[in-house]
Amino acid sequence: MLATLILWGHALAALLFGAIGLWALRSDEATMPRIPLAAALAITALWALAVAGIGESDLVTQIAAAARNLAWFGFMVALYRSGGIERPPAAISTVFGVVAVVIVMAATLDVLTSATSELPRPVLDAALLLKMLATVAALLLVQGQHSALAPRQSHAVRPVILALGAMWLVDINLLAVAWLVESWPVQLIAVRGFAMALIAMAIAAGLQQRGDRPVQMSRTVIYQALSLVAIGVYVALLAAATSALAAIGGPNARLLQTAFVFGSTAAILTLISSSWLRAWIKVKLAKHFFRHRYDYRAEWMRFTETLGDPDGAATLDERIVKALADLTDSPAGVLLLPQGNGFIMGAGWNVARAELPTAYGESWQRERVDPALVVELDTGVGADAVPPSIRAWDQAWVVVPLPHQRKLAGVIVLARPPVPRALDWEDFDLLKAAGRQVASHIAEERAQEALAEAERFDEFNRRFAFIMHDIKNLVSQLTLVARNAERHAENPAFRADMVATLQDSAGRMNDLLARLSQHHRARNEPPVAMPLAPLLRRIARSREATHPVEVVSKGDPIAIADPARLETLLGHLVQNAIDASAPNARVTLAIVELGDAVAIDVIDCGCGMSPAFIREKLFRPFVSSKPGGFGIGAFEARKLTEEMGGRLDVSSAEGRGSRFRVTLRAARADTNALGNAA
């Protein structure tokens, strides 16, 4: 097993050093001397390859080790001369020369040892002592060079210098053990191969730097490298322990080795299977190996790009949910918007409304939501305050409040990611910051919509003020014409016709003027009990000249309503039904008794509406599907219905027509209203 570890460990190191040497040779980076560095890396790769192929004690391997040390000394001298080190000592070349002579002397003794087997033991010990002396001197030189690094090049050069120190630190430990036990420690040689592979990675990290930027390595590479190191350390310790048991175990050595292998493997597997331990290790690695768990620059750029990209059919609310879900790899999410004391379901991303429970989130009271607390529904703090209606969606995982200026702009419920994981301190911080950001986007859009709506209302009021002024002038003129005609007309028949016509026109204009002015002043008249059938028949007769309208009624139901408001809102609904229908398609006005309530249905067989249009645009002012339409009819109809204590519902399907239902209180169910009406 040890021979295999030595082979693969040093072969991996040789591969890495050779690849880094080619990279350094082709690089145009001027931070470090390129040729000496590439040469040192190449010779190190050859030395590691010799250890893997022919063994540590072979003469070729010993000469390659000496050449490796000399090559790195040459790189350090070149680094001094390139200006990467501040104030190099005047006699630095002499110091390196003396150490190089010691290395050559040790290599000479290795050659003599290989040529004859009759050399006394002191000669062999002298070779080891010279190598140890050279290694200690190399460590001192590395320490001095590290202390004298220039600030402008420290980020790039420091990892390489530290890697050299680590390489010679491994060598001094191996040489010291070899001196004590009078043979090469095979276990340490096996560990050295993997240690050299890590040293090669450290050198690569230094070579990738440009200027003063700190080292940045991939999180995935770091985690995988640390896993490999842990495996290597475990295998090395396992090999050392089994060797020790073989030496001291006697006849029971095999049994002890087997028990140790199985016991240690079971202990390692038990530790690895602990979710708490894995989470703890992950947090510790994130805290101590990286400044932050997330690459905040990349995450925030993706986040803002998602929020600010209006392309496609996604609305801002959908983009908000997607941007927040992408931070935690969540596959879907739902936005809950505040309404009254609770919430209503807003936009969803990657989730259909049919997949969500009916009235999802509407039972959650706003005062029960802590705007500063991101709640993980499985095990998080505050999960008990979340009502069961939120958990009714089986994918619900995290609740993220959206606070804006001490108010709650909404709540986002994120779905569980494909690979379940627990949130940590940095996830919560990131979600809080992102929640505040998207809340400001929601508040800004709502403010812009309110401002635009106010501006359009202002323009609408100004326009109708002009219309009312013109109508008033026209009525005055028509009235004057009627009076003059009545006074001066000579033909009695002509005079009678003109007077009737003018008086009729004047009457209609006065009615229109009165109705227009009513919409712009407060009305304090309470609803009264009124029969519905006569009103519906009158509305139908008024449309007979332009479109067929049918009234369907059983009996003569009486409802609590304001006659003027009811006639106005039914006029809007009937006109919308006529506009949506074919010229000869009948529009139906139906009265339906519903116990304590009475419903008036306005039914057409026209083009119909989509659910999205009904939900998002139908009752919004100034949004109209008709060319030149103001988009006021449905908005005002619902407002007038609510003012009478009623409700306006819509059911429609594209290509199959629509039904608007006005639901009012029945008179017999409200005796107080009847008494007031009497």
504, part of any domain: no
Residue position matching structure tokens 């339906």 = 592
pLDDT at position 149, please? 66
For every residue of 430-476, DSSP letters joined together read HHHHHHHHHHHHHHHHHHHHHHHHHHHHHHHHHHHHHHHHHHHHHHH
At 374-405, the pLDDT tens digits run 888 877 677 778 888 888 888 888 899 999 88
Helix (H) or strand (E) holding 94: helix 92-115
Cα of 326 vs its chain's centroid, Å = 3
Give the max Cα distance, the chain.
157
At 436-488, the pLDDT tens digits run 888 888 888 888 888 877 877 776 675 665 556 456 555 655 565 565 565 56
Let me know whether 257 and 356 are in one domain. Answer: no
**Residue 214, pLDDT above cutoff 50:** no
At 503-558, the pLDDT tens digits run 655 665 666 566 555 444 444 567 889 999 898 988 887 676 567 889 998 878 89
242, part of any domain: yes
Q: Are 601 and 590 spatial neighbours (Cβ–Cβ below 8 Å)?
A: yes
**Taking the CB of residue 81, how many other CB atoms lie within 10 A of it?**
14
pLDDT at position 326, please? 84
**Taking the CB of residue 609, how many other CB atoms lie within 10 A of it?**
20
Cα gap 186→3, rounded to integer Å: 8
Let me know whether 316 and 263 are in one domain. Answer: no
Cα gap 175→133, rounded to integer Å: 10
Per-residue pLDDT band for 627 (boundaries 50, 70, 90) equals low
CA distances (Å), origin 323, targets 73, 329, 366, 623: 53, 10, 24, 28
pLDDT at position 662, please? 94
What share of the chain has pLDDT > 90, as a percent? 7
What share of the chain has pLDDT > 70, as a percent? 71
Q: Are strands 396-404 and 407-415 parallel, antiparallel or unpaired?
A: antiparallel
Q: Residue 565 corresponds to which tokens in the numbers above? A: 């408001």
**Residue 601, pLDDT above cutoff 90:** yes
167, part of any domain: yes
- 20-29, 71-80, 196-205, 397-406: range with lowest mean pLDDT: 20-29
pLDDT at position 220, please? 55
What is the DSSP code (8-state) at residue 85?
A: B
pLDDT at position 56, please? 80
- Residue 462 buriedness (CB in 10 A; 0-12 / 13-18 / 19+): exposed
Query: How far apart are the two ends of the chain, measured CA to CA in Å?
Result: 106
At 35-77, the pLDDT tens digits run 888 899 999 999 999 888 888 878 888 888 889 889 988 888 8
Strands (E) located in 538-586: 549-552, 558-561
pLDDT at position 477, please? 52
Helix (H) or strand (E) holding 539: helix 533-542
**Residue 211, pLDDT above cutoff 50:** no
What is the DSSP code (8-state) at residue 596?
A: T
pLDDT at position 668, please? 67
Radius of gyration of the chain (CA): 44
**Taking the CB of residue 113, how many other CB atoms lie within 10 A of it?**
16
> How confident is the model over 661-676, as a mean pLDDT?
66
**Higher local confidence (pLDDT), 604 or 249:** 604
Domain end marker among 291, 316, 339: 291
Q: Residue 153: which residues within 8 A CB-CB, separation 6 or more?
A: 31, 84
pLDDT at position 664, please? 92
589, part of any domain: yes
- For the chain, what is the domain count? 4
pLDDT at position 578, please? 85
CA distances (Å), origin 563, targets 153, 271, 530, 587, 640: 87, 79, 7, 21, 11
> How confident is the model over 107-114, as a mean pLDDT?
78
> How confident is the model over 314-329, as a mean pLDDT?
84
Let me know whether 287 and 310 are in one domain. Answer: no
pLDDT at position 277, please? 62
Cα dihedral 627, 641, 454, 449 in deg (nearest 10): -80
> How confident is the model over 166-194, as a mean pLDDT?
81
Cα of 342 vs its chain's centroid, Å = 26
Helix axis angle for 219-248 and 275-289, nearest 10°, is: 120
Domain end marker among 172, 197, 212: 212
Let me know whether 276 and 240 are in one domain. Answer: yes
Let me know whether 198 and 308 are in one domain. Answer: no
pLDDT at position 46, please? 92
pLDDT at position 577, please? 87
500, part of any domain: no
Q: Are 560 and 644 spatial neighbours (Cβ–Cβ below 8 Å)?
A: yes
At 649-667, the pLDDT tens digits run 999 988 889 999 999 999 8
CATH of the domain at 321: 3.30.450.40
For every residue of 505-538, DSSP letters joined together read HHHHHHHHHHHHHHTTS---PPPEEEESHHHHHH
Helix (H, G, I), strand (E, B) or coil at 256: helix
Q: Residue 518 corresponds to which tokens in the numbers above? A: 């009513």
Helix (H) or strand (E) holding 355: none
Helix (H, G, I), strand (E, B) or coil at 14: helix
Let me know whether 158 and 10 are in one domain. Answer: yes
Q: Are 85 and 151 spatial neighbours (Cβ–Cβ below 8 Å)?
A: no
Pick from 384, 391, 383: nearest CA to 363? 391
Cα gap 84→106, rounded to integer Å: 31
Helix axis angle for 253-272 and 275-289, nearest 10°, is: 70
Cα gap 33→477, rounded to integer Å: 100
Query: What average pLDDT does the structure give for the chain?
Result: 76
Range of the domain at 602: 528-677
Please calculate the CA angle 44-158-188 and round it to the nearest 5 degrees: 45
Total residue count of the chain as it appears in this document: 678
Cα of 434 vs its chain's centroid, Å = 8
Pick from 207, 135, 148, 145: nearest CA to 174? 135
pLDDT at position 213, please? 47
Let me know whether 242 and 271 are in one domain. Answer: yes
Per-residue pLDDT band for 677 (boundaries 50, 70, 90) equals very low
**Higher local confidence (pLDDT), 503 or 96:** 96
499, part of any domain: no
**Higher local confidence (pLDDT), 272 or 54:** 54
CA distances (Å), origin 127, targets 66, 101, 180: 12, 13, 14
Task: Give the side-chain half-sphere CA count within 13 A for 47.
Answer: 23
Domain end marker among 163, 190, 212: 212
**Taking the CB of residue 341, how many other CB atoms lie within 10 A of it?**
10
**Higher local confidence (pLDDT), 44 or 279:** 44
**Higher local confidence (pLDDT), 157 or 668:** 157
Q: Residue 137 corresponds to which tokens in the numbers above? A: 């001197």
Let me know whether 67 and 110 are in one domain. Answer: yes
Cα gap 670→560, rounded to integer Å: 8
Let me know whether 222 and 206 are in one domain. Answer: no
Cα gap 633→620, rounded to integer Å: 10
pLDDT at position 661, please? 93
**Residue 599, pLDDT above cutoff 80:** yes
Its pTM stands at 0.40
CA distances (Å), origin 57, targets 53, 101, 394: 11, 21, 65
**Residue 560, pLDDT above cutoff 60:** yes
pLDDT at position 320, please? 87
Pick from 596, 575, 586, 591: nearest CA to 535? 591
**Residue 233, pLDDT above cutoff 70:** no
339, part of any domain: yes
**Residue 632, pLDDT above cutoff 70:** no
Q: Are 533 and 557 spatial neighbours (Cβ–Cβ below 8 Å)?
A: yes
Let me know whether 208 and 266 are in one domain. Answer: no
Let me know whether 47 and 88 are in one domain. Answer: yes
Q: Residue 303 corresponds to which tokens in the numbers above? A: 């986040």
> How confident is the model over 343-357, as a mean pLDDT?
84
pLDDT at position 663, please? 93
Per-residue pLDDT band for 92 (boundaries 50, 70, 90) equals low
Helix axis angle for 219-248 and 253-272, nearest 10°, is: 160
CATH of the domain at 630: 3.30.565.10
pLDDT at position 351, please? 86
- Backbone φ, ψ for residue 107 (5° rounding): -65, -35
At 139-179, the pLDDT tens digits run 888 877 777 665 555 566 778 888 888 888 888 888 877 77
Q: Are 34 and 27 spatial neighbours (Cβ–Cβ below 8 Å)?
A: yes
Q: Are strands 647-653 and 587-594 parallel, antiparallel or unpaired?
A: unpaired
Let me know whether 327 and 397 are in one domain. Answer: yes
Cα gap 667→558, rounded to integer Å: 6
- Backbone φ, ψ for residue 529 (5° rounding): -75, 130
Q: Are 600 and 551 spatial neighbours (Cβ–Cβ below 8 Å)?
A: no
**Residue 588, pLDDT above cutoff 50:** yes
460, part of any domain: no
pLDDT at position 164, please? 87
